[in-house]
Structure 1
Amino acid sequence: MDRVDEALEQAYRQLFGRLVGWLFRRTGDLQLAEDAVADAFASAVVAWRGKGIPDSPEAWLRVAARNSAMSALRRAARSVTVAPEDLELIPEDDVQPRELDDRLGLMLVCTHPAIDERMHAPLMLQAVLGVDAARIASAFLVSPATMGQRLSRTKTKIRDAGIRFALPPREQLTPRLDAVLQAVYGAYGIGDTVGGDGDADLRAEALRLSTLLTELLPDQAETWGLLALILHTRSRRTARVAHGAFVPLAQQDTALWSKPDRGRADAALRRAAALGQIGRFQLEAAISAIHSSRADGHDTDWDTIVVLYRGLLRIAPSVGATLGAAAALIEAGETTEAAALLDALAPEAVRDHQPYWICRAQVAQASNDDAAAHAAFDRAIGLTSDPALRRYLLSRR
């Protein structure tokens, strides 16, 4: 990758959401803001190759994005609260509190009560972090076309309803916080593929945002829970693949796990526990911490993990939580209960969900049903595109 490509990639990851938020505040049209920023980056590909990387990539992109937005507004002759000629580059501190950056501010805007709560996290992933609709669709178990249509409708509603860039009062932050946390964790998950490097920039941005949330809202336990979960997950990343094949958590070499990350994660989880507020991310982080304790010579306490999963299913039921609970129950010898959890899932929600079929195969193996295990593994392999995970599944098959 040459210097221009590196500069463009870094600028995209660091500045996309900030620029979109900056333009959205002035136009009230999220789609227009995204399109203008995308045009700015497209222009940068040509300009920076011909004239070199500017001294301030952000300033260059702001001017280009502003000009693109102004041109679009003039073409559409759209009435806006702020006239195009008033779209000036104003100092950051004149717009919002110093401690809250544009990306996090836009994430809070995306959780406006008038917006369908099912679209909060997908909208934030696209508008703030620049994740494309196809990757978002995969994370939320819908088709790319369906997700694209939903995102488009949501942005149209924001524009037509006149939802403005206005940060909610602090007392209204908590109800919106869960969607923000889900989006940040979703971003980390999308960037955290099993094989290869995945999207390191997206993972780094998710970690940066989760850290920022603990600084802005230190009295909210779930911000610390999310930070702990991301750090525990990151601590084991280098051990997940060996010799080109995926390595299950129970078989990973704990010497490869990052001790500093585990230490930070455990400290964050203790901070969350001290606040006395139980939530989804704390429970998931606690489960991850039990797995990580194997690096300190402890056996995996599957009974406690099952208890934590049962709590998670009560307060935040989801397909992912159900699959995790089923896998833990299998390890704890409760195969019948595990099968019942899987049977209760809606078929349309898991038909093309690869982790479901892996879990189905595990249940069948535990029940000594070889035919069902083979069929489930075949289905999982057919749904797997990651080479490292595919090699592992083929070996299990």
Structure 2
Amino acid sequence: MTAPDGVRAAVDAAYRDEWGQVVATLIGLTGDWDLAEDCAQDAFAAALATWPRDGVPDRPGAWLTTAARNRAVDRLRRDAAGAAKLRALAAPARDPGPPPDDDIPDERLRLIFTCCHPALPLPARVALTLRTLAGLSTAEIARALLTAEPAMAQRLVRAKRKIREAGVPYRVPPAELLPERLDAVLAVLYLIFNQGYGEPDPARPLAAEAVRLARVLVRLMPSEPEPSGLLALMLLHGARRATRTAGGVLVPLEDQDRSRWDRALIDEGVAVLDRAMALRRPGPYQVQAAIAACHATAPDTASTDWPQIAALYTELARLAPSPVVDLNRAVAIAMADGIPAGLALVDELTASGRLAGYHLLPATRADLLRRAGRTAEARAAYEEALELAPTEAERRYLAGRLREL
């Protein structure tokens, strides 16, 4: 029997909102990642069969957690090796009520930190986070990360094996390790966001999943400012997403139609950033969000507070030094203090070789040379950037600039 549209929509919504919570609870109870995922899938299948008859429960997450836990009990009873795990599940099995609400976020927080454990390679952390917390299928993850499905399946298997064999603890790290481990979590979420941000319309938008997971992390760690900083950064970038390309061509920030920016996301991003900064522990994501807020709240390029942006990039270079930050700072200085000042910094970066092969270095240099009226040099720099550009949208934009020159 096919579920009615309303029930199907309720199950789909519960899958988005509750999958990670259900899986996290079962992993916490059984320690078995594969069993947890299998039983969670069974619970959602049971919802499709049962909710059309009995109605959508008031607390779908609690219903799904109980159904998944009962399914785990059934599986373990048939498995002699599951006797110890069954004992852990025995008390909940006798009591069909859901675990206390306060326990569920704790489990989900443990799951986030376990998926992003430094013992796992970064690609495995990303894949495991998308599978266990976001509920994406192996095929969806492979498609989003431009990897063959069999290779992605093996990556997930190896990650779970590493957790099991290396004894990676299923817990929130102790206080002395929290800053380092939190950085790893935030880096994974931002990588997921950026992977999806560049896609025009993926079937399961990774950028939206990253924002959702960041919201979860903010709720679970309200006293930590950097998760809020990352969430604010995602919201402020996401507000401009619809204007980043037009007809398959990259649209630079100064040419974007600001009337089409999502004002609700901008307002929320600024509010989230304000709450983070009120904790008075600045970090790289808060600074990046502050830069994004300067752009998002300015009515046009000319009235953008470029001196403030340059100062923020100077602070970012102190907190998280990198040549890419230096390149962005050079652009801000060019806009604040004049093209020659910014171009001198870009030429220093070029001479240092620290960004060799990075397409935005010659692209930035070309833009500044164009503004300075040095057309022949700009043309050569655009040609270099065109050869290095990784996406078709960027190549079309650079080719258009060359035609203009």
Task: Output the TM-score relative to the length of structure 2.
Answer: 0.71
Residues in 2 aligned to 1:261 and 1:197: alpha-carbon distance in whole angstroms: 20
- Which blocks of at least 5 consecutive residues in structure 1 are unaligned? 348-355
Instruction: Count residues in correspondence.
Output: 378
Match of 2:354 among 337, 341, 344: 344
Partners of 1:30 and 1:159 within 8 A in 2: no
Cα distance 1:59–1:268, how it changes in 2: closer, same or farther (>3 A)?
closer
Matching of residue 11 in structure 1 with residue 14 in structure 2? yes
Most deviating of 326-335 and 255-264: 326-335
Task: Output the TM-score relative to the length of structure 1.
Answer: 0.72
Any residues of structure 2 matched to 1:110-259 within 5 Å, and which?
A: 110-111=115-116, 115-116=119-120, 118=122, 120=125, 122-131=127-136, 149-163=154-168, 165-168=170-173, 173-193=178-198, 195-196=200-201, 199=204, 203=207, 206-242=210-246, 245-259=249-263
Any residues of structure 2 matched to 1:1-397 within 5 Å, and which?
A: 6-38=9-41, 41=44, 43=45, 47=49, 55-56=56-57, 58=61, 61-62=64-65, 65-66=68-69, 69=72, 73=76, 77-79=80-82, 81-83=84-86, 86=90, 88=93, 90-93=97-100, 96-97=102-103, 100=105, 102-111=107-116, 115-116=119-120, 118=122, 120=125, 122-131=127-136, 149-163=154-168, 165-168=170-173, 173-193=178-198, 195-196=200-201, 199=204, 203=207, 206-242=210-246, 245-295=249-299, 299-302=303-306, 304-316=308-320, 321=325, 324=328, 332-333=342-343, 334-340=345-351, 343-345=353-355, 356-364=358-366, 366=368, 368=377, 370-371=379-380, 373-374=382-383, 376-380=385-389, 383-384=390-391, 392=397, 395-396=400-401
Partners of 1:27 and 1:82 within 8 A in 2: yes
Instruction: State the Cα distance separating 1:120 from its structure 2 match.
Output: 4.6
Secondary structure of the residue aligned to 2:133 is helix
Partners of 2:77 and 2:86 within 8 A in 1: no
- Matched letter for residue 384 of structure 1: T
Instruction: State the Cα distance separating 1:219 from its structure 2 match.
Output: 3.6
Q: CA RMSD in A?
A: 4.5
Residues in 2 aligned to 1:253 and 1:288: alpha-carbon distance in whole angstroms: 16
Cα distance 1:139–1:183, how it changes in 2: closer, same or farther (>3 A)?
farther
- Matched letter for residue 291 of structure 2: I
Partners of 1:188 and 1:207 within 8 A in 2: yes
Structure 2 equivalent of residue 350 of structure 1: none
Cα distance 1:8–1:258, how it changes in 2: closer, same or farther (>3 A)?
same
Q: Deviations over 1:281-334 (max 9, x none)?
A: 012112212222422786334455455345434533568757755765776333
Residues in 2 aligned to 1:124 and 1:323: alpha-carbon distance in whole angstroms: 31
- Matched letter for residue 55 of structure 1: V
Residues in 2 aligned to 1:329 and 1:53: alpha-carbon distance in whole angstroms: 63
Most deviating of 64-73 and 153-162: 64-73
Partners of 2:323 and 2:354 within 8 A in 1: no
Residues in 2 aligned to 1:323 and 1:52: alpha-carbon distance in whole angstroms: 60
Residues in 2 aligned to 1:189 and 1:40: alpha-carbon distance in whole angstroms: 32
Residues in 2 aligned to 1:370 and 1:45: alpha-carbon distance in whole angstroms: 61
- Matched letter for residue 347 of structure 2: T
Residues in 2 aligned to 1:211 and 1:52: alpha-carbon distance in whole angstroms: 33
Residues in 2 aligned to 1:337 and 1:134: alpha-carbon distance in whole angstroms: 44
Structure with max Cα Rg: 2
- Matched letter for residue 373 of structure 1: Y
Q: Deviations over 1:110-169 (max 9, x none)?
A: 3557x3474555533332113466876899899877765454323113223555544456
- Matched letter for residue 224 of structure 2: Q
- Matched letter for residue 107 of structure 1: I
Instruction: State the Cα distance separating 1:65 from its structure 2 match.
Output: 4.1
